[in-house]
Every structure is written in structure tokens, then in C-alpha cells.
Structure 1
Amino acid sequence: MKSPKHVLAALSLSVVLLAAGCSSNNNNQSANNGGTPSASGQPETSTSASTEKLQIKTSFYPMYEFTRHVAGDLADVESLIPPDVEPHDWEPTAKDLAEITDADVLIYNGAGLEGWVDQVTSSATGGNLTTIEASKGLDIMDGFVEEEEEEGHDEGQEEEHDHGGLDPHVWLSPALAIKEVGNIEQGLAQVDPNHADTYKANADAYVAQLQQLDQDFKDGLKDVKRKDFITQHAAFGYLAKEYGLTQVPIAGLSPEQEPSAAKMAEIVDFAKEHNVKTIFFETLVSSSVADTISKEIGAKSAVLNPIEGLTAEDQANGLDYIGIMRQNLEALKTALNE
């Protein structure tokens, strides 16, 4: 059964679609898949003065960041979810739905993160909107599900169902971020084939930076003293898998999910047994659960950022995806060598 907010969103979309005009883009097609490595530098610009820019909506910050590097000056790229808003439970307003319908392209992560996408795409099939699923074709892992106390289990199941039981956090592995950039590049090339070479050149330049980031993670984590880390939110499964680590999550895929008392006790026992000295929490949500466990075992708490949005401090410091991932690498190196 759909929740009331999903029903309201669907009704809002129906009204919006009756009023919304068609996009001016004449090259829209369905698009997915791909990926390529290479060069250096910043996004290239268009040399065609008469070309209208693509209007691209992206779901949340990593999709915006990847897309703006690929599109360069060939598109106006905007994020639907504000940078300081946690995206797991965000729902589009009628205004958001109208903007999506009027856009040429919607780029989203997929793997169940954006539960509202199916409503948008199924209702907008008669228009010119092209959707690009950045995680298309990737090996998506099952999500973490707590099986402890029944009371907590029911709430956990509801949260996990928002993702279809899948873990959507692929962008936190630089190696998989490279593949997402490739999917975006190939999708835009299908929408706008006249500029396919520019999209590829832009993607290659950004992928070169991501490849260096990936290598830095490999080098920085290969000789750490310990391989397990405790985190408040089960967002780092892909990162852990890529670099030979073990994520020990306190709660599930949704950062708002509260762990059961039994799960809390289990984590405390694990931390004491393995002499864990750092408990990771994240930005955009309360650190209370991580703080409780760290006080219980005499450890400290530190940030491991899932990059689901930028904080005001991140923006003030000029941080982006690569900058925050480098902060994550340093935090992991410190904790895993204690």
C-alpha cells in the first residue's frame, strides 16, 4: 500500500502534467549505460553559439557533481534536493514535479534511493523527459537489515523497503563513481549526439581525477592495522568491499533508523572486544547514537561523510565530492591505525 505522501505526490504530478508544456529539446531519447577513463583538466565548453543548453535536473548532490563535470557549459544543471537536506526521505513538491516535467533530462542514482522516480517517469511518458539512471548495470548489493528485537525490526523493514532492500550508496566507492560518470556521459551523448565528443572529453578529464582518488584509497588503506570500522549508518558497504575493509553498522540504510537495544549492546560488545577507539557518525543527522556508544566504551566519535548533501560548512570551505572523499580517507586511515 502506498503511503499518504506518495499518494499526494502522485495526485500533484497528475495536475502538473496537465499544465506543463513540452520541453524545447528535440534530441531526447531513453538513455543508459557506459563508462570510460582518461585525461585531465576542467569541463570543455561548447563552440556552437547557436546551441540551446540542455535543462538537466539531478536528484541529489553526487549526481549534480558528476553531471556538471560531464555537461560542462552545454547544460544548465540543478539539484532537486537542497544540499543540506538528507535525501532518503525527500519527496518532490508540485513545484519540483513541474520542473522535472519541463526539463530535458532527469539524472538520478537509482538502486532504490529515489523512491519517487517511478511516479515521475510513469506519468511523464508522453513528454520529452529523458531519464538517466547513474547506477544502471552496476552490481548492487543487498541492504543491511537488522534482525533483532521485533519492535525495532518492523521499523527497520519499513525503512529498508524504501530502497527495495538494496544498498544504493554506490557513489561512495570511487571505482563505482567512475562507472556512474560513464553512464551519465553515455546518456547525455544519446540525448545530444552532436556534442558526444565534448561529453566524452569532459567525462575523461573528471574520471582521471577519480582514478587518482581510487589509487589514493588503495595505497592509503592497504597496510592499515585493522580492517573493521563502526559507523552509525550502513552507507559504506561498497567502499569497504572495494578496499578490503569491513563495515560494522550500528543501524540500517536510512540514517534516521534507530537501532534496537539488542543491536546497541552487540555493537558495544564488538567495540570492546576489538578495542575500537573511534565510532563514526555522519553529517546532516544527529550523532546521538554514535555518541552514546563512544561514551560507553571510552572511544571518540568522528565524521565519516556519506556525501548525501553538502553542509553549510562544506560549502563555505569550497569542498566538493573529491575533497570530502579525501577527508573520509584520512579519517579511515587515522581510525584504522589506532
Structure 2
Amino acid sequence: MPTAAPSRFPRPSTRTALVAAVAALTAVTATACSTSSPSGSKASGGASDSSGHGSGKAIQVVAAENFWGSIAAQLGGDHVHVTSIIANPDADPHDYEPTAADARAVAGAQYAIVNGVGYDTWADKLLAANPGSGRAELKVGDLVGVKPGGNPHRWYAPADVHKVIDKITEDFKKADPADAAYFDQRKKDFEAKDLAAYDKLISDIKGRYQGTPIGASESIVTPLAEGLGLKMLTPETFLGAMSEGTDPTAKDKAVIDDQIKNKQIKIYVYNSQNSTPDVQAQVKEAKDAGIPVATVTETLAPADATFQQWQTSQLQGIEQALAKATGR
């Protein structure tokens, strides 16, 4: 198999960009900048608006990634204004370069959501540069009890998603007690209606295919596999290496080749936003062996999709692949 690419995406110097962003943050803090309509093009992956408006009593929210931003925007409705920093499918959340617009968004935020577990350390640095006397912060990894070194992809863990929903609603109510009933109703509707298809697919897949062995391209798939009750056969060391942009070992690649050749896995799931030569080779091998292939992505795809639209589409692809592989 070909040698893996040296990193997930081309990565210029993060340090230089971070220094510039922190400098910009320091400059705008004194003027208490608003998060209204921050600049952010899809080409650069900078901050972009997700929902709500920037006037009145709207809670100013900044989310490091748009998958958490989408949930926050839907839970807050027109009582929040959400800015998601990572909103471009081509941006690498692991090693993102903050912009001046990102610094301004952080400076004006009353509530910040970061993933944590080493996934978005650049966001921690931006927040630390401006402590903010009244800003509340949610670090998802801390909320769900995943320690440093653990799998950071918590938005692919269905149980963790619901914990985040509970916490965001609780924090919105603390920030705006007068509208607590509004936020409770938003949460009720979101879980009962908007997430209905998402929750049903998870339940259906787990009920029908629990214990089915699968292969994957990286550790982003692991929390989802666990949530669906599927058995991950790909070596954990390979999954971690691909997620971190390091070279997998020849031993791990040989194990995966053998799993595919002997059809030890029923389906293969890969992150199409991180399709290195090694992954491309495995996808080809799986298809040539008659093993159905499904895809996931790191961030919302398309970028204007809601969290549930994105996840439901991917779950349907996995369900179809499992049905094809098992005949049920």
C-alpha cells in the first residue's frame, strides 16, 4: 500500500497566525467588539454566523466548531447569536489558524463552546488571551469525562451529544433566567422533533446490526461505532495515527489488508475529508473485495447543513452499507 501523507491537510505555521490573532484579540478587547456579522469566507474557514441576531438581549455565543454551533443555534433560537469559527469543510480543526475575525468573535462572546481533549487547543489559547469576567465556557471533553489522550470526537458519540444538549440549555437558562421556559421548550422540540430521525436510526442500527465487525480509516469513527453497537476491528494504533496525521505502521497496514482480503469486516467507513493515499488504497481494496463502503466527514457537510441533517445522512449511508453486507 502507498505511504500515508505526512499530515491531514497542508499546514502552514499555526504559531504565526495564533500570535497575530491574539494580538488582534488584545486590541479589540478594549472596545468590547460585537460578534455581529463577523467576516468569514468559505475559502479561509474563518468565523461565520450560524443563527439568531446580534441585537437586544440575544446571548452572544462562539463555538469553536460548527457541529456544536449548529446545536447551540437551534437550542437558543432567536434569543442567541451564534458564531462558529470552524465553518469550512476544508479547514482542519486539529490545527486551525485563528484569524482577526475569530479574535473579535471571542472578545464579544458571553458563552463559548470548545470541544477540548486536545482537539482545538488554538481555541483554548484564544479564550485564555481574553478571560472575560462574565463569559461562561463549555468544554465538551470535560463535560463528558474524556481525559487528555482520549478520543476527542465526541460529536460522534450519541450519548455525549445529548449531554451537551442538556448542558447548553442549562447554561442558556443561567445566562437569561427570564427566558428559561423558552429554552426548555426549544430543547424539548429539538430532541422530540429535530433529532427524532437521528435517534431512531441509531436505535434501529444498534437493534439490527449490533456486534457486526467493521473497519474504519481513523478514530473519528470509533465513538459512532460504539454508539451503534458495532465491533471495530481496525487496530486502534492505525486509527489514532490517521487522525493525528502521522504515518501508520507497516504492521497495522498488513493487518487491515488481511481483514479486507478475508472479509473479516462487513463494511468499511472512512473520513472523506482525510482521504490519504493509505485510506484511498483501503477503500479500493474494500470495494474490489465486495465490501460496502460508507463515508463520514469531520465537520458539517455541506457547511450549511444542520447537525441532524448531516448526521442523519451519514447514518443512512452506514445503514445501507450494513444492509447490503448482511442481507438484512
TM bucket normalised to smaller: 0.7 to 0.9
Equivalent position of 2:191 in the other structure: 207
Equivalent position of 1:137 in the other structure: 143
Equivalent position of 2:262 in the other structure: 273
Contact 1:57 1:103 in 2 (8 A): yes
Cα RMSD for the two superposed structures: 3.1
- Cα distance in 2 for partners of 1:332, 1:218 equals 13
Match of 1:177 among 161, 185, 193: 161
Q: Is the partner of 2:144 in helix, strand or coil?
A: coil
Equivalent position of 2:59 in the other structure: 54
Contact 2:33 2:104 in 1 (8 A): no
One-letter amino acid matched to 1:207: E
Cα gap change, 1:112/1:93 in structure 2, threshold over 3 Å: closer, same or farther?
Answer: same
Match of 2:99 among 93, 103, 111: 93
Q: Is the partner of 2:272 in helix, strand or coil?
A: coil
Cα gap change, 1:167/1:240 in structure 2, threshold over 3 Å: closer, same or farther?
Answer: same
One-letter amino acid matched to 2:80: A
> How many Å apart are 1:113 and its aligned residue?
1.7
Equivalent position of 1:153 in the other structure: none
Contact 1:256 1:285 in 2 (8 A): no
Equivalent position of 1:29 in the other structure: none
Match of 1:224 among 199, 209, 216: 209
Matched, 1:116 2:122: yes
Cα gap change, 1:139/1:227 in structure 2, threshold over 3 Å: closer, same or farther?
Answer: farther
Q: Is the partner of 1:166 in helix, strand or coil?
A: coil
One-letter amino acid matched to 1:305: V
Gaps spanning 5+ residues in structure 2: where? 1-11, 36-51
Contact 1:232 1:255 in 2 (8 A): no
Q: Identity over aligned residues, as a percent? A: 21
Contact 1:178 1:210 in 2 (8 A): no
Query: Could you list the per-position Cα deviations for residues 268-314 of structure 1 after superposition, in whole angstroms to 9, with x for gaps in the alignment?
Result: 112223443643222323253233124345235634314523236xx
Q: Across the two proteins, how many residue pairs are aligned to each other?
A: 287
More RCO (CA 8 Å, sep 6+): 1
> How many Å apart are 1:87 and its aligned residue?
1.5
> How many Å apart are 1:236 and its aligned residue?
2.2
TM-score, normalised to structure 1, is: 0.73
TM-score, normalised to structure 2, is: 0.75
Match of 2:77 among 47, 66, 72: 72
- Between Structure 1 and Structure 2, the one with more helix by share is 2
Matched, 1:63 2:74: no
* More displaced 10-residue stretch of structure 1: 124-133 or 198-207: 124-133
Contact 2:267 2:294 in 1 (8 A): no
> How many Å apart are 1:229 and its aligned residue?
1.3
One-letter amino acid matched to 1:330: Q
Equivalent position of 2:296 in the other structure: 305
Cα gap change, 1:51/1:194 in structure 2, threshold over 3 Å: closer, same or farther?
Answer: farther
Q: Is the partner of 2:309 in helix, strand or coil?
A: helix
Contact 1:217 1:243 in 2 (8 A): yes
Contact 1:62 1:308 in 2 (8 A): yes
- Cα distance in 2 for partners of 1:8, 1:225 equals 45
Cα gap change, 1:139/1:240 in structure 2, threshold over 3 Å: closer, same or farther?
Answer: farther
> How many Å apart are 1:255 and its aligned residue?
6.3
* More displaced 10-residue stretch of structure 1: 98-107 or 287-296: 287-296
- Cα distance in 1 for partners of 2:127, 2:284 equals 47
Contact 1:134 1:181 in 2 (8 A): no
